[in-house]
A = this chain, B = another copy of it.
Amino acid sequence: MDVYEAIRTKRAVRQFADKPIPQEALLKILDAGRLAGSSKNIQPWDFIVIRDRARLKALSECGPWAGHLAGAAVGIALVTGDWRERWPVAFDLGRAAQNMMLTAHEMGIGSVMANIYDMDKAHALLQLPEDKMCYAAISFGYPADPQKWQRPPRRGRKRALADVVHWETW
């Protein structure tokens, strides 16, 4: 699958089949995240792979829209330092996450982001060091209904190019 095609056809998948992700595919997803560029090459990320069902369920309760983690084949928690310190911390995590989700999509594996709201709970659950936090996690898994995710997106879901793009100045 070429890059633009992957970007064009990627959907947020929230319901997953009861089918494990092969270790080789998982390592490729993680490697894609690891290989993202970052400001000053700081690579401000750690990835925690979660497959234990009870832990996934507990993590799914750390945000009001994180429920899909409970049914994911794999959850990857994105861990970093204080994101408010520097703009690139969250920005670079986004670059790594996008690499992971596009690589998964290319292998037929769906994904969706979850923001973590109860960060103290996630901190304890993941046994993080004092200076690290988990602000977001990604659910991965084969789609429960693959055909559903092959449909074209609903119209009007994305802002039009003419609205998003400006030429030379605002």
Contacts and interface: CB of A to CB of B under 8 A. Distances in A.
Query: Interface residues of A toward B: which range?
Result: 35 or more
Count of chain copies: 2
A12 interface: yes
A79 to B, nearest CB: 7
A103 B48 contact: no
A95 interface: yes
A3 B168 contact: no
A159 interface: yes
Given A91-B97, A170-B127, A35 B52 contact: no
A146 to B, nearest CB: 18
Nearest to A33: B164
Contacts of A167: 48-49
Given A1-B2, A48-B170, A87-B90, A157 B41 contact: yes
Contacts of A91: 90-91, 93-94, 97, 135-136
7 contacts: A3-B102, A31-B161, A46-B165, A48-B170, A87-B90, A90-B94, A93-B94
Interface of A: 1-4, 6-8, 10, 12, 27-28, 30-37, 39, 41, 43, 45-52, 55, 79, 83-84, 87-95, 97-99, 101-103, 105-106, 113, 115, 125-129, 132, 135-136, 157-159, 161, 164-170
